[in-house]
Chain A
Amino acid sequence: MPKSIPVDPQAFQRAGELSFPRIPLHAYDRPFATELAARGTKQMVDILRHMMLVREFETMLGSFKAKGAYADISYVYKGPAHLSLGQEGAAVGAALALEPADHIFGSHRSHGEFIAKGLSAIAQLPAAELRQIMEQHRGGALLRMVEAQLPATTVTSTAENVLLFGLLAEIFMKADGFNGGMGGSMHAFFTPFGAYPNNAIVGASAGIATGAALRKKLANEASITVSMSGDGSTGCGPVFEAMNFAAMAQYGTLWTDARKGGLPVLFFFSNNFYAMGGQTIGETMGWDRLSRIAAAVNPQAMHAETVDGTNPLAVADAVARKRTLLLDGKGPALLDVECYRSGGHSTTDANAYRTREELALWEAHDPIAKFAAQLVAAGVMNQQDVDAMTAAVAASIAAVTRAAAAAAAVDVPADPTLIGRLMFSHEEIAVPTGEVKLLAAPDAAARIRQDAKKARHGIGPDGQRLSAMRAITYRDGLFEAILHHMMHDERLIAYGEECREWGGAFGVYRGLSDILPYDRLFNSPISEAAIVATAVGHALEGGRTLIELMYGDFIGRAGDEIFNQMAKWQAMSAGILKLPVVLRCSVGSKYGAQHSQDWTALVAHIPGLKVLYPATPHDAKGLMASALSSEDPVVFFESQRLYDTVEIFKPDGVPPDYYRIPMGEPDVKREGKHATVLTIGPSLYPALAAAQELEEAHGLSLEVIDARSLVPFNYDPVIRSIAKTGHLLVVTEASERGSFAMTLAANLTRFAFGSLKSAPRVLGSPNWIVPGAEMETSYFPQADDIIEIVTSQFHPDTHSNRRGIRNWDDRDLARKGL
């Protein structure tokens, strides 16, 4: 059914002009006395103490980087220290307005935001809950360590020590750090306090926080997410993609009931005026005030405001107001929080890009000095109290530092594969059995009635191959597994470009839009980076996500999101975070160099991703079921040329019931004894054609093994096959250079060296661009190419003169870069 959002030329061709909402600049004007009366003395004093803790913590890190010492402690800290000295008002002000269940997603410069959020949560959580949180984190190991090293009299003080120690030990990459030492300075998190992962990639948290907000909305949680990044991140495309994704009109126009309304995400920009050494205003960006960019996103201009980040009360006021809007379904929101980084970008910063005069001007706006003076002027504290607080904060940071510096390092030599094992949990969920909300019963979809009449096996009674209209295809196999999970697992949502009415560009989802509401299946903007980043955020918050990139060639558009975010969070969290995301990528053909590339090797190269590439309807269904059950992230490649393929291998065809095929198991598709042909993806079919011809013409039998999965991969069945045949050919449609086929061949040469009678061969596509449809058979490996290798190299006694067109000199081509 088409949507009912009419595009009426009369409405669009009317003359007029656009107007924009007013964007307030520094509108906060509440008297200090009013704040004091409303917040009470304790909270106001705590604001100062929290800012001091942040500053002292970072001063300590800076001191280690500069001198290898802090107070009387010597320590060699080798990692990064992107400090936020001078920005404490922004961090503490934001945290003040957030509840523990609100989640912040940080940047490379987020120690301050992390500490502030933790301190704010500790101040709000009841003692019993705090105790429980600390007991549950890694079986209470961190709590025990802190209690022994840093005695405290109250649960609150203990929790503050856990927060500071857990973060510092993490920054020092110690085993007792919050992330087991696998995250470090730029990737620390502690979810029970609402401090979700910091991120070393500028702006990467924007999309992740947006996806997290989507999950909060779908789970009906009354809390928000905050994307924390700097002004420099407004130069990053993925940040704009994320803001648009968060602002999609469909949440208001098409989503219904409790799901109607915008995403509860706040884009919080700590605007310190510099992107490393580039000056955002006046040099590297077009905007004059950062909040202006919100006017480009939606008619509400994201309720944007520019606020004074040197005043924690102004920040808290703005965040609290935006939070109310977000909980009211009016998101997203944007805050431009102007503050000043008085320290360097990093400890190697020589301040070459700004003047001493400018630094001096901002000294008068130091958030800590300013706030302390206000407290003294209001009579809440005197200068002696302030000095005593400064000294007490320094003492507690020194104690935490001493303990963290002495904590045990991660002992990799004692357990050499420890880091590797943290990448995957290998856990699979059982398919839930509860009811999910549907628009209509499944058989309301013509597609489902149609598939029900199809033969399960692709060969008809008289031996002819059935058409895609008459037998279950690869496309249908995928659909059946996806339908089963969507029908039973409310946490699972699916989206991508034209996934709804169109059913995905290749019709895999066709019919689903008749059954599933918008909040389970929707069209996304053409924003590959946001598609993947939001999927990561949605999964980190407890959702499960099935996303589609129309063509595998668009992986480049989501490079960081696939390679650094989707792949790494499980390992960087020491296995604490789970990432159930399935990314479907179709591998094209016919459309040439930018629409037909097999990029499986690119993805398989990145640690942390499982990579599947089935070639038959039976395997497509069973592997998709495993992927959707997996707690680990999976990149699922599908060949566009195979969508209409029917099942010809399994005698009973594609089982109608739900089943899973374990990931990582290659499958012998045809048995033989004269050579082993290991295929990736659609290369299976030319290999079978070659096997048929070799059998008939030369009496040679090929053992054809379909890899099915690249990561993980069980070599044993292939090694057993080589022991029988003595020859190995690996066939792929990817360009040979750097392909996964090369990895398979290299490893199998080692693992099965004693059985090999000839050098293994890789047959892939040449190392040049994929040509158009008319030239494709000259490019992708064909049966003739396989026959040539088997007859001329493995079995020259056949004296076959059958030749493909690849009679080129590989060494000469390599010299020329081909």
Chain B
Amino acid sequence: MSTDVVMPQLGNEITEAQIDYWSKSPGDKVEKGEMLLTITTPKLTMEIEAPASGTLREIRVPADEIASVGDVLAVIDQA
């Protein structure tokens, strides 16, 4: 079973955000609630936590790329 890491809705006026950096690499173990990546909007920088525990299978939007709300940023394989 796998869980998608999705770009969250960051307020009703923000449609996209940039990935600042990933704290984990593909293959790394992650715990639910652990800081996974940092994103930036024009106004603020915020951290996104892992939505589930498991192994980070893939990163779909690398650092410095821009993603829209709802985009799948990464996939976690659950144990």
- Which residues of A are interface residues toward B (Cβ below 8 A)? 446-447, 449-450, 453, 467-470, 473, 475, 502-503, 506-507, 510-511, 643-644
Contact = CB atoms under 8 A, between A and B. Distances in A.
B20 A643 contact: no
Interface residues of B, number: 15
A511 B21 CA distance: 15
Interface in B53-73: 64, 66
A468 B42 CA distance: 7
Contacts of B3: none
Contacts of B17: 469
Nearest to A449: B64
B60 to A, nearest CB: 17
A473 B17 CA distance: 15
Given A446-B20, A447-B45, A449-B64, A467 B15 contact: yes
28 contacts: A446-B20, A446-B21, A446-B38, A446-B40, A446-B45, A447-B40, A447-B45, A449-B64, A450-B18, A450-B20, A450-B64, A453-B64, A467-B16, A469-B16, A469-B17, A469-B41, A469-B42, A469-B66, A470-B66, A502-B44, A503-B43, A506-B43, A507-B42, A507-B43, A507-B44, A510-B44, A511-B45, A644-B42
B40 A450 contact: yes
B64 A510 contact: no
Contacts of B41: 469
Interface in B4-49: 15-18, 20-21, 38, 40-45
Interface of B: 15-18, 20-21, 38, 40-45, 64, 66
A510 B45 contact: yes
Contacts of A510: 43-45
Contacts of B45: 446-447, 510-511
Closest 8 CB pairs of A and B: A507-B43, A446-B20, A468-B42, A469-B16, A469-B66, A450-B18, A644-B42, A446-B40
A643 B64 CA distance: 21
Main DSSP-derived SS at the A contact region: loop
A519 B1 CA distance: 51
A644 B64 CA distance: 19
B43 A469 contact: no
Given A446-B20, A469-B16, 5 more contacts: A467-B15, A469-B18, A475-B42, A510-B45, A643-B43
A350 B44 CA distance: 61
Nearest to B44: A507
Contacts of B38: 446
A195 B42 CA distance: 47
A444 to B, nearest CB: 12
Central interface residue in A449, A473, A475, A511, by most chain B CB within 10 Å? A449
A149 B4 CA distance: 89
Nearest to B20: A446
Contacts of A502: 44
Contacts of A643: 42-43
Contacts of A511: 45
A449 B20 CA distance: 9
A638 to B, nearest CB: 13
Nearest to B16: A469
B16 to A, nearest CB: 5
A284 B58 CA distance: 70
B18 A503 contact: no
A502 B21 CA distance: 19
Contacts of B15: 467
Nearest to A452: B64
A505 B16 CA distance: 19
A447 B21 CA distance: 12
Central interface residue in B18, B42, B45, B66, by most chain A CB within 10 Å? B42
Contacts of A475: 42-43
Contacts of A453: 64
B64 to A, nearest CB: 7
A470 B66 CA distance: 8
A449 B41 CA distance: 13
A655 to B, nearest CB: 20
A470 B67 CA distance: 11
Contacts of B64: 449-450, 453
Contacts of B18: 450, 469
A639 to B, nearest CB: 15
A137 B1 CA distance: 82
Contacts of B16: 467, 469
B73 to A, nearest CB: 15
A531 to B, nearest CB: 22
Contacts of B42: 468-469, 473, 475, 507, 643-644
A399 to B, nearest CB: 66
Given A446-B21, A469-B66, A503 B40 contact: no
B42 to A, nearest CB: 4
A453 B41 CA distance: 14
A473 to B, nearest CB: 6
A328 B17 CA distance: 48
A453 B62 CA distance: 15
A510 B41 CA distance: 10
A621 to B, nearest CB: 16
A446 B41 CA distance: 11
A442 to B, nearest CB: 15
A470 B45 CA distance: 16
Contacts of B43: 475, 503, 506-507, 510, 643
Contacts of A446: 20-21, 38, 40, 45
A511 B45 CA distance: 9
A39 B1 CA distance: 87
B78 to A, nearest CB: 30
A453 B18 CA distance: 11
